[in-house]
Amino acid sequence: MKVTWYIKNLSHSLSDKLKNALRLRSYNYDSVTTSTWNRCLQLIPYLKKMKIKCQIDDGSDLNTDIGILIRWQDESAFDLVNRLRDKKVKTVLDLCVNYFDEAGPFPGGHGVTPIQVKAVKKTARVVDRITCGSEYIRTKAKLFDSKALYLPESIDYKHFRFQKNKQDFDKPILMAIWSGQPEKSVEVAMLQHKLKTRQIPLTIISEKKPIMPHNYNYIPWSYYSFPKSILSGDFCISPRRADNTYDLGHSHFKIGAFMSQGVPALAAPLPSYKELIMATGAGRICESDVEWEIALNEILENRKRLWEWSQAAYEGMKEYSTESVAGKYAKFFQELLDG
């Protein structure tokens, strides 16, 4: 079995580097988007152990059994799918964002345009299957593929290999932590005042230092330093708008990475966040300002509960390990070929 992930605008030089990296089982994850390494690169070593051949391509090489389009949401995707189908290749459209509904624009140019919606719907009608990064996206994709499959974003425990210990939660001062793109820190800035009034310092991990109303500790983001940086926080916060189809479709990775190392989560009511908190019992979903205040007070008043959440987070996230999720991919690939 041979599987190819197709990535738009993948330069030949980067392609060569990635192909070389595949043989070495080493990647420069900082040179690609998070969704690319999460939903593609980090899966490959585990799939290769299951005797599944894998490669990455820009649409030039059609010699494969299964072709997966990842983060490819324009008219050229439709053309690539048809070229693959002419070669009798099974085609998959992988979506980590809900491109079925127009939404935005949001700060930083994020959102979904009408052009993208049109292109994705056109492609969705001709692929063999659609895979989705969240259950919310799957509900949208089912209108085009009744067998649309939710394959969650995963945590590679070989990389996220650290764990908080009990002594971390006995410190006089607890540290809140958040990670994300600087332009998406608006909601965090609104929450920072609640942290300040409770004398809870904030650490931000980001590629660039965002502008915030109060002082905070800044750690530059890199895939390679991220696991160690996570240990700087005692609980993660992930406030986010839940009033639009763009944010509602987002995956659980933003809190899942922290939880995998025993950092509990206080999070907005996104479907994927609810999934993790319900599955692990390792934090709180906060649907209003009042609920954020209650959750913060609870953390300050009950350190024992924070440690219990930490343990529950670490154990519960193993269900979402890359090794486990890769097994789901392997089963899906075989069913697709047998189909």
Contacts of 68 (CB under 8 A, 6+ apart): 3, 4, 5, 6, 40, 91, 92, 93, 94, 131
CA distances from 84 to 77, 143, 218, 333 (A): 11, 23, 46, 16
Instruction: pLDDT tens for the chain, 339 residues: list them.
Output: 999 999 987 754 555 555 545 544 456 888 888 999 999 999 999 999 999 999 999 999 999 999 999 989 999 999 999 999 999 999 999 999 999 999 988 877 789 999 999 999 999 999 999 999 999 999 999 999 999 999 999 999 999 999 999 999 999 999 999 999 999 999 999 999 999 999 999 999 999 999 999 999 999 999 999 999 999 999 999 999 999 999 999 999 999 999 999 999 999 999 999 999 999 999 999 999 999 999 999 999 999 999 999 999 999 999 999 999 999 999 999 999 998
242 found inside a domain: yes
In whole angstroms, what is the distance from residue 73 CA to residue 10 CA?
Answer: 14
237 found inside a domain: yes
- 228 and 210 housed in the same domain: yes
The encoded tokens of residue 276 equal 């993790």
What's the chain's Rg over C-alpha atoms? 20
- 93 and 12 housed in the same domain: yes
161 found inside a domain: no
In whole angstroms, what is the distance from residue 187 CA to residue 51 CA?
Answer: 44
Q: Name the maximum alpha-carbon separation found in the chain.
A: 65
- CATH code: domain of residue 115: 3.40.50
Contacts of 293 (CB under 8 A, 6+ apart): 194
247 found inside a domain: yes
Dihedral sign of CA atoms 93, 96, 102, 105 in order: negative
Is the entire prediction scored with pTM above 0.95? no
- Asked if residue 152 lies in contact with residue 251, where contact means CB atoms within 8 angstroms, the answer is yes
- 280 and 329 housed in the same domain: no
- 179 and 106 housed in the same domain: no
- CATH code: domain of residue 225: 3.40.50.2000
Beta bridge partners of 55: 4
Is omega for the bond preceding 105 within 30 degrees of 0, making it cis? yes
- 139 and 235 housed in the same domain: no
- 120 and 67 housed in the same domain: yes
Domain coverage including residue 214? 166-319
- 239 and 101 housed in the same domain: no
Domain count, the chain: 2
